Structure 1
Amino acid sequence: MADLDFSKLKVLIVDDDQFYRGILKRLLFQAGVRMIAEAENGEAAISAITRLKPDAVLCDIEMEPVDGIEVLRRIRSIDTQQIATTPIIMVTSHATSDLVKQAVQYQASGYLVKPVSLTDIQKRLTVGIQTRPEV
């Protein structure tokens, strides 16, 4: 895989915890990402993904009232290929087999368990973006 130019990426962070959104934002900035958007819940995420068309999404699984699995399911069902194939990396505190199975079922591009590291984010973004189907 070729090196990814993180400075050209537009990444959306979806997490209902403002503090953790800040942590992810700092890690992305350290990775070189300069275009970072945030959504504080699943409904806001779906709207932001369709409006912003980010290169990748870091999405918390456990949110109310719309959780990350539902965000993933809805985005994958959109009939616009560019949006439906957006790399979505699931982020969670609980890596239970049921959550992993659901994320895989709805074609998550990757999975990160909190606390995440800079290296973890760089690896998952690179794989997610470089394995995205051509649109």
Structure 2
Amino acid sequence: MAGLCLFGDIDKLHALATPLLGRYLPSDPRTTEPWSAILAENTPGAPPAGLPVFVAQGGADTLVIPSATEGSAAASCRGGGRMTFRLYPTDTHGTIANTAMPDVLTFLAKGLAGTPAPRYVLTHRATFL
């Protein structure tokens, strides 16, 4: 799995998380270091106004919860963002990058060609693309 992850510091992440396996957290990770800093670093902020963004989410991802990603994309759009969100139902955290790559390349090619990005696109099945 580590070979599929896009994180550069996967060993550091495992070193931090391993002691927690099999037990409950003794405090809220949102307010307890080092977790609060890690959460802040991994929480996307709002993209610059007007910047088109492509979000690919694996429907079988158990690390990044699909509904949370979709909610974040929708909130960005409500704030004026230009978002294309695609849910790939059978992909996991480890497989989504490879599966989504053809759609990412199409999205980028359209942007480079000057095609305006839509205000919001929500697709729940890659076969609908």
Shorter-normalised TM range: 0.3 to 0.5
Higher helix share: 1
Question: Who wins on radius of gyration, i.e. which is larger?
Answer: 2
Under a length normalisation based on structure 1, what TM-score does the superposition of the two structures give?
A: 0.34
Under a length normalisation based on structure 2, what TM-score does the superposition of the two structures give?
A: 0.35
